[in-house]
A and B are shown apart, each in its own frame.
Chain A
């Protein structure tokens, strides 16, 4: 649509030293300025994330809650992920689907997927997120098209969180009925990225960085970004995430951005993060990003404990998954294939909805409609 430099090129204007300088140089005065700014700059965001902001977290959280309320009311949209396949050719060190992990591998057939979709629909969901590992022989584009099409026949909103595609491949997904795309960079630090992905196509840092742009260019209405919390310095990663979001919004202004906060959890791979992110850090990232991007959806998944999720809801979250299973076929109860990560919040969707209401928020099962798609 536009002739824009690729994000992988644009991001070079912001080497880590520059971002580190913004964080280290921030003063309490800068934090106060950031709290008052009607539209935050990158420097403002850095101030809110910096050590100088430690004493103002409650103020930042109050403002984040207020801004979320202004833009979103007290809506929390509920969705659920459905894993179609756990086959993967990559060897990501932190992931339970790592090629070398001796887990039971499975890819759902169309009939099995339909059973899975129907089981999920019974739970009340209108929004479904389809996931796979990365194995283009097990789940080629034609398979993905078919899976999207079958889901689009049953759900009002279908999103994909799968391997990176080209623009024309994403266009095929959109034509099949997909309206959203989630693709997390895992880490914006190129060296740590290389270390975490020793082999496989995922090793290509730039390709992953540019793929959300391809999705937006292909007409995806929703693009989800995020990084895996724990791989690198969360402050620097949060700044890159903010930059990435604003870049997509600038060049594909019709696209709605959502931000996710996957925090490294124990998984079969037994990986332990080098830069663990505390609950406080997570609150800091979420609330600061809300001030930086008042219009972005913020997504929380069942990776976190029930107690923490409940506390995070008022801080700017607008989407939550519920009743999640991370093994293919997990909803229809067909067999025991390997999980991607362990779920912390085992509550049922009804339970999660009731809980959301008890906190004064409104669980929303439907926020899109098949009629929007051609």
Chain B
């Protein structure tokens, strides 16, 4: 969300109590969301959950049986403290995504859903048309919809308009760890958003996560970078600190690099007109 004009929250040294992360009227302290796929072991998943401080965790409905208390993934998650966010990954179109979401609601007992419609297994990029269609249906049906999208500012605006609770633009395709390749578009989305912006996919390192938060993202979602790290719980700690650092930097109003000694900025130097534009005022 855009904070440049409104009053910014006061920074708090001990924690984030003054800077809550609010999604659909629910308040969280942590701004990091993690996925549960690709971990080397369930212990690694459980420990990483703890070190990352994440309070929201996504589970793929195609893999996890939400209603089954003995599901190994679910056992690793303390659902009394952590919100389970079912995702519809694997859905190829709106119909499949909506069906999955409804199943999830029945099993999980709450109506939050991470909407992921990724018909192309080669890239796992989200289908904007099917995502929008599914979001329309799900929002009308009372779901709290968190849609995963390419970093398309217009699509983000359209989804907010129909009532999605957040937008989740990708930094780079899922699993690529390439960082914020869509940086400029994400910046536009952040500036225009009236809902929280959570950068999701492509974050490969804590520095990427920090960068996203410094830009003004409200949260980040991490999966591959954690699950496939050499030491996932230690990486979880690194991400936790990086996200806090980035958020604090953003609130502290990251100052621009400026060289007050120079008479003109690098951007204007090469485009400066030789005509004097305001000399006439002295006449």
Q: A29-B258, A33-B255, A62-B268 are in contact. Are A2 and B161 (CB under 8 A)?
A: yes
CA distance A53 to B261 in the complex (A): 15
Q: Which of A2, A29, A58 has the most CB of B within 10 A?
A: A58
Which B residues lie within 8 Å of A28 (CB)?
260
Q: Are B265 and A41 in contact (CB under 8 A)?
A: no
Within 8 A of B (CB), among A337-355: none
Q: A62-B277, A283-B281 are in contact. Are A36 and B272 (CB under 8 A)?
A: no
Check if B25 is an interface residue, CB within 8 A of chain A. no
Contact with B along A225-259 (1 / 0, CB 8 A): 00000000000000000010010001101000000
Q: Are A314 and B277 in contact (CB under 8 A)?
A: yes
Q: A42-B5, A58-B278, A311-B280 are in contact. Are A33 and B268 (CB under 8 A)?
A: no
Closest CB in chain B relative to A53 CB, distance in Å: 12
Q: A1-B161, A29-B260 are in contact. Are A13 and B277 (CB under 8 A)?
A: no
Within 8 A of B (CB), among A1-32: 1-2, 4, 13, 28-29, 32
Check if A141 is an interface residue, CB within 8 A of chain B. no
Check if A195 is an interface residue, CB within 8 A of chain B. no
Q: Are A36 and B277 in contact (CB under 8 A)?
A: no
Q: Are A33 and B191 in contact (CB under 8 A)?
A: no
Q: Are A61 and B277 in contact (CB under 8 A)?
A: yes
CA distance A3 to B38 in the complex (A): 41
Q: A59-B264, A62-B272 are in contact. Are A250 and B192 (CB under 8 A)?
A: yes
CA distance A283 to B278 in the complex (A): 8
CA distance A324 to B278 in the complex (A): 27
Check if B263 is an interface residue, CB within 8 A of chain A. yes
Within 8 A of A (CB), among B179-228: 191-192, 194
Which B residues lie within 8 Å of A243 (CB)?
5
**Residue in A closest to B154 when the chains form the complex, CB atoms:** A253
Q: Are B268 and A41 in contact (CB under 8 A)?
A: no
Q: Are A315 and B277 in contact (CB under 8 A)?
A: yes
Check if B177 is an interface residue, CB within 8 A of chain A. no
User: How many residues of B are in contact with the other chain, CB < 8 A?
Assistant: 30
Which B residues lie within 8 Å of A2 (CB)?
161, 194
Check if A92 is an interface residue, CB within 8 A of chain B. no
User: How many residues of A are in contact with the other chain, CB < 8 A?
Assistant: 33
Check if A57 is an interface residue, CB within 8 A of chain B. yes
Within 8 A of A (CB), among B139-159: 157
Closest CB in chain A relative to B189 CB, distance in Å: 12
Which A residues lie within 8 Å of B277 (CB)?
58, 61-62, 65, 314-315
CA distance A32 to B267 in the complex (A): 12
Q: A253-B157, A283-B278 are in contact. Are A41 and B255 (CB under 8 A)?
A: no
Closest CB in chain A relative to B230 CB, distance in Å: 37
Check if B14 is an interface residue, CB within 8 A of chain A. no
Q: Are B256 and A36 in contact (CB under 8 A)?
A: yes
CA distance A32 to B7 in the complex (A): 23
Check if A136 is an interface residue, CB within 8 A of chain B. no
Check if B276 is an interface residue, CB within 8 A of chain A. yes
Pairs A–B under 8 Å by Cβ, sample size 28: A2-B161, A2-B194, A4-B194, A28-B260, A29-B258, A32-B258, A32-B259, A32-B260, A32-B265, A35-B264, A35-B265, A36-B256, A36-B265, A37-B256, A41-B5, A42-B4, A42-B5, A61-B278, A62-B272, A62-B273, A66-B268, A246-B5, A250-B2, A250-B192, A253-B157, A314-B273, A314-B275, A315-B277
Chain B residues within CB distance 8 Å of chain A: 2, 4-7, 157, 161, 191-192, 194, 255-256, 258-260, 263-265, 267-268, 271-273, 275-281
Apart from A61-B278, A62-B271, A250-B194, list 19 A-B contacts with CB within 8 A: A29-B258, A29-B260, A35-B268, A37-B256, A39-B191, A42-B4, A62-B268, A62-B272, A62-B273, A63-B265, A63-B268, A65-B277, A66-B271, A66-B272, A246-B5, A253-B192, A283-B278, A311-B280, A314-B277
